[in-house]
Amino acid sequence: MSATSRRAPRGPYRRGVIGALRYRLTGHRMPLALTARVTWRCDALCSGCGMPNSSKPELTTAEWVTVLDDAARLGCVRVCFTGGEPLMRDDIGDLVDRCSALGIATTLETNGGRLAQRARFLGALGQVLVPIEGGEAAHDSVHEPGSHERGIAGLRAAHAAGIPVSTVTTLCTANRSVSDLEDAIGVAESVGGTALFQLLHGEAPLASRAARRLRLQPDEIRELLAWLLEAQAAGRPIGVSAKTLRYLQTWPDLNEIVRAASHEDVLCSAGNLHCVVDADGTVLPCVVRPAADAPNARDTGFEAAFSALLDQPCRACAIAPLVEYNYLLNLNPDAVLSRLAQARTPISRSAA
């Protein structure tokens, strides 16, 4: 198939629906979606990121393969490789290929700087996500000089290799102008992809102190979300479902990231249907509340570590990708129909 006609595999989506239904009917837990934070290392200096430069040893290739094999046996249908910068691992292509052999859909979150050199080795990858904060000035003010140009070059290389692509824009003071959102969507359109949007959370575990200075006022955020809903209704390739965008609009306090009570009709599935495996093998329900005593797949194996996860004290959050995950895993009709529409479109899938 050519790069312009490649479509999403249906198998993982079907298995995901079956797994989610099984959980709702019987309470059977399974890691349908897994975030693999394969490294803490990064080659970029982004002002909003607080990723620790950890000295803990990272899982080896063989250890990651064991985690992926165990996750597949337990029902995993999607793995998102992230970091740090996952392309700093020489074996990332091997891990993507392993997922493909296991019938697992894959996503790679990258700053894009290494994609031009590595894209041809990632042919089995299901999707690439690259941050684009708007125009060059807006983007480089959040990341670093030259990163906008490198990110676009990476997106073009991935698209040329036949890999579906999406841009990711974090709403912040650098791109409060609608023209910057237009620029981000335009980049996505130029490579036949979708444009994803999320909120900036200065209190999130992996946010830097500088991230607090980049936060928009709640009214500004709601205005931008309203504009995105209008753009989506007009046919622009916004890869976040309208259901999630409306959810974020009604979040009670946009300065806080989590709530102990549920919000609207979303049920958090963290630790039940999705989880995170850190670079050292630590297994967490999600990225919001890391725990010092969390189980480790290196010590106990992934299955035992996943089984040992405790319920989160929070019941809702305003992290757009997690909201989208939860709506999909709750089999919310609006979110599922939005995803199916994207899956039918060549080179167009969103993050969850």
Per-residue tokens: 189: 């359109």
Q: Is the peptide bond before 84 cis (omega within 30 degrees of 0)?
A: yes
> Is pLDDT of 344 > 70?
no
- Round the average pLDDT of the chain to a whole number and report it: 88
Cα(49)–Cα(37) distance, integer angstroms: 15
Q: Coil, strand, or helix at residue 169?
A: strand
CA distances 224 to 14, 69, 228, 268, 327, Å, are 34, 41, 6, 25, 22
Amino acid identity for residue 345 in this structure: T
Span 186-195, pLDDT tens digits? 999 999 999 9
Asked if 150 and 113 touch (Cβ cutoff 8 Å), the reply is yes
pLDDT number for residue 2: 38
Q: Which of 239, 212, 244, 211 is nearest to 225 (CA)?
A: 244
Confidence of residue 147 (pLDDT cuts 50, 70, 90): very high
Span 7-27, pLDDT tens digits? 556 678 889 989 999 999 999
pTM listed for this prediction: 0.91
Domains located in the chain, CATH noted: 11-253+263-343 (3.20.20.70)
Question: Exposed, middle or buried by CB within 10 Å (0-12, 13-18, 19+), for 1?
Answer: exposed
Q: What is the mean pLDDT of residues 110-129?
A: 92
Lowest mean pLDDT of 72-81, 204-213, 314-323, name the range: 204-213
In the chain, DSSP assigns E strands to 33-37, 78-82, 105-109, 128-131, 165-171, 194-199, 258-259, 274-277, 283-284, 316-317
Lowest mean pLDDT of 102-116, 245-259, 334-348, name the range: 334-348
Q: Which of 194, 153, 163 is nearest to 352 (CA)?
A: 194
Q: Which of 32, 26, 27 is nearest to 13 (CA)?
A: 32
* Phi, psi (degrees; rounded to nearest 5) at 195: -110, 115
Which positions ≥6 away from 78 have C-beta within 8 Å?
12, 16, 32, 33, 34, 104, 105, 106, 107
Confidence of residue 3 (pLDDT cuts 50, 70, 90): very low
> Is pLDDT of 243 > 80?
yes
CA distances 59 to 87, 147, 189, 281, Å, are 15, 28, 37, 6
> Is pLDDT of 205 > 70?
no
